[in-house]
Amino acid sequence: MKNLTNDNRCPIIKDLIQPAIADLEIRHSSINELRPIKELVEKIDYLQKIKQTDLILIAGGRLAENTETTSWIVLNTLFLKNKAVLYFSLDIHKNDLINMFLCLDAGLNYEYIKKGFFTESDWKKMINSAHKLSEKLLYICDLQLKANEIIEQIEKLHREISMKKQNLSLVIIDYFQLIKCKEFSKQKISEILKLLKQSAINLKITIVLLWQFHYNFSENPDEFIVPKFEDIQEFDIIKKNTDFVGLIEPYENIFKIYKPDMQEISF
């Protein structure tokens, strides 16, 4: 059997840390002005109500907020649960994703850091987080794949990790609409969701999907309408084929999780 870590589709984090850090150093070398870093607010444990075999869809309109939310879920799984994670980053380059992980763990503002604005103290925090993260079983794939290819990679990695007597606990797909597909018809979306749910059941893992949708702006330029789940055209299919649905409310850093019957879960 071909070793998954050698085909460069889902490399492990310890092989990715150094290039990501080097990328930050290059950005920092071109910056003359240092700006203050704001501390990120603490997040709750999103996974305390979620079990293995669940298929979860998280909807939001701002890419940075969406990825930050799933990044907290990843860090929770790696550091608190000490389990393996596979992250399909179909929109963000793996270096940027890793640097977001490092910033969140170090309590630094990623938006500043990625532009090269950081102090020597910030850099030490990033290096410390890099050492911690490099010891974890985090695998990242930033290639656009078809649904069956994603499931194939999940199954391969699950077998490989199981041989090492470790457990693949969490899979993130960021984001769903970038799965390689000729047409996202309702039937096709339903088929993909069912395949992913079956994979979650068979392998006893949690799969989290990010769903991107747009906000509806009113005629008043200073006002916008916060999207609801019902704004998603495929909402009925999503509700039918997932165990939980999450909504990221913009600008408020609020993340809510609902059951399929749309009953909000209290944390």
| Tens of pLDDT, residues 85-135 | 999 999 888 999 999 999 989 989 888 888 888 888 999 999 999 999 999
Task: State yes or no: pLDDT of 49 exceeds 60.
Answer: no
Is residue 46 within 8 Å of 76, Cβ to Cβ?
Answer: yes
The Cα-based distances of 250 to 132, 180, 231, 244, 259 in angstroms read 31, 27, 15, 19, 21
Has residue 121 been placed in a domain?
A: yes
Has residue 167 been placed in a domain?
A: yes
Instruction: Give the per-residue pLDDT at 64.
Output: 63
Is residue 10 within 8 Å of 90, Cβ to Cβ?
Answer: no
How far apart, in whole angstroms, are the C-alpha atoms of residue 101 and residue 72? Answer: 8
Say if pTM beats, i.e. exceeds, 0.85.
no
Task: State yes or no: pLDDT of 238 exceeds 70.
Answer: yes
Task: State yes or no: pLDDT of 170 exceeds 90.
Answer: yes
Q: pLDDT grade, residue 233 (50/70/90)?
A: confident
Task: State yes or no: pLDDT of 136 exceeds 90.
Answer: yes
Per-residue tokens: 119: 């102090």
Instruction: Give the per-residue pLDDT at 22.
Output: 80
Q: pLDDT grade, residue 219 (50/70/90)?
A: low
Has residue 92 been placed in a domain?
A: yes
How far apart, in whole angstroms, are the C-alpha atoms of residue 139 and residue 5? Answer: 9
Instruction: Give the per-residue pLDDT at 194.
Output: 95
How far apart, in whole angstroms, are the C-alpha atoms of residue 31 and residue 65? Answer: 25
Has residue 97 been placed in a domain?
A: yes
DSSP string, 36-72: PPPPPPP---GGGG--TT-EEEEEES-HHHHHHHHHH
Average per-residue pLDDT in the chain? Answer: 78
pLDDT in tens, 183-208: 888 899 999 999 999 999 999 999 99
Has residue 114 been placed in a domain?
A: yes
Q: pLDDT grade, residue 137 (50/70/90)?
A: very high
Instruction: Give the per-residue pLDDT at 162.
Output: 93
Task: State yes or no: pLDDT of 230 exceeds 90.
Answer: no
Contacts of 57 (CB under 8 A, 6+ apart): 176, 208, 209, 210, 211, 238, 242, 244, 245, 246
Is residue 85 within 8 Å of 167, Cβ to Cβ?
Answer: no
Mean pLDDT of 215-233: 60
Instruction: Count the domains in the chain.
Output: 1
How far apart, in whole angstroms, are the C-alpha atoms of residue 154 and residue 201? Answer: 13
Instruction: Give the per-residue pLDDT at 68.
Output: 79
Has residue 234 been placed in a domain?
A: yes
b/e per residue 109-148 (b: at least 16 CB within 10 A): bbebbbebbbeeebbebbeebbeebbebbbbbbbeebebe
Instruction: Give the per-residue pLDDT at 127.
Output: 92
Helix (H) or strand (E) holding 85: strand 84-89
List the CATH number of the domain containing 228: 3.40.50.300
Has residue 264 been placed in a domain?
A: no
Instruction: Give the per-residue pLDDT at 191.
Output: 94
Mean pLDDT of 56-73: 75
Has residue 57 been placed in a domain?
A: yes
DSSP 7: T
Mean pLDDT of 3-24: 76
Give the domain extent around 210: 4-30+39-258
Mean pLDDT of 252-265: 60
How far apart, in whole angstroms, are the C-alpha atoms of residue 122 and residue 211? Answer: 32
Per-residue tokens: 18: 């150094």
